[in-house]
Amino acid sequence: MDSVGRVYLVGAGPGDPDLLTVKALRLLSEADVVVYDRLVSEEILALVPDGVSRIFVGKAAGNHVLPQDEINHIIVKLALGGHVVVRLKGGDPFIFGRGGEEALHLAEHGIEFEVVPGITAAVACAAYAGIPVTHRGLASGVQLVAGHCRGKTPLELDWRALAHRELTLIFYMGLANLSEIRAGLMGAGRPGATPVAVVADGTKPSQRRLITTLDRAPEDVAACGIAPPAVVIIGDVVMLSAKLDWFVPNAEIAAPIARYGHG
């Protein structure tokens, strides 16, 4: 291969293969190599044609298969080798997916790239739990928030701004810091009775959903044994899930407390 290849930064969505975009599906069929993350579901990987190389570069909290710099190096090297590369990321590449960092690295090396948006976990998990992230009279805005920092660094967030009652908050990767999130929001005036939903494995047959309140959220999450990947949704719109919960996962999951549901 003599010419430089091209890289597609592709959002794989939240896990349900039916939520993959048409363009993403087409690019998987045209790729020479797929470089994928931990949150890309097995059902979506099954759509990659036989003969297409796959490279796993997944990361979990505190456990990186490869550091970001090395991932950047891999996709550049593949493109310089003339390959068509699909860099497949869970959710959306530009929403807590570090797609911006990879795009900048490609641009610095003169490699052509495209960004293919995906359905992000915030929107998908909320929808599959029967929660509209905005709703007239309940929430006039939504804020997506990173719920963790490097190492054990405390969260540096503007808690006062986040405490506005008509703002729906959706925390990514926030389970480990849920007590800190509670303290920050309640300390800034958000009521302890504010509804909270925790959605794990959203959109998948194994989806688990907990409906609780801000003052009880850390204890209820621990009691239910909910583990990442999960999003935490905070705001009055969570109350609508009682009427709008439409998704029935295939998995049978025990409910250790009354407020814990399958959907």
59 is catalytic: yes
Q: What torsion do the CA atoms of 150, 74, 10, 178 make, to the nearest 10 degrees? A: -10
Q: How far apart are CA 35 and CA 33, in angstroms?
A: 6
**Which DSSP state fits 205?**
T
Which of 239, 224, 230 is CA-nearest to residue 177? 230
Q: Which residue among 16, 18, 32, 59 is the active-site one?
A: 59
β-sheet bridge partners, residue 172: 146, 231
CA 22 to chain centre: 20
Q: Which residue among 2, 16, 18, 37 is the active-site one?
A: 37
Distances in whole angstroms, Cα of residue 39 to Cα of each of 46, 58, 146: 14, 8, 16
Tokens 């790239």 sit on residue: 113
Structure tokens at 234: 């905070």
DSSP assignment of 73-117 equals: HHHHHHHHTT-EEEEEESB-TTSSS-HHHHHHHHHHTT--EEEE-
Q: Give yes or no for a contact between 175 and 198, defined as CB atoms under 8 angstroms apart.
A: yes
245 is catalytic: no
Q: Give yes or no for a contact between 184 and 159, defined as CB atoms under 8 angstroms apart.
A: yes
Please tell me whether residue 143 adopts helix, strand or coil conformation: strand
Compute the C-alpha angle 115/61/57, nearest 5°: 45
Which positions are annotated as active-site residues?
Answer: 37, 59
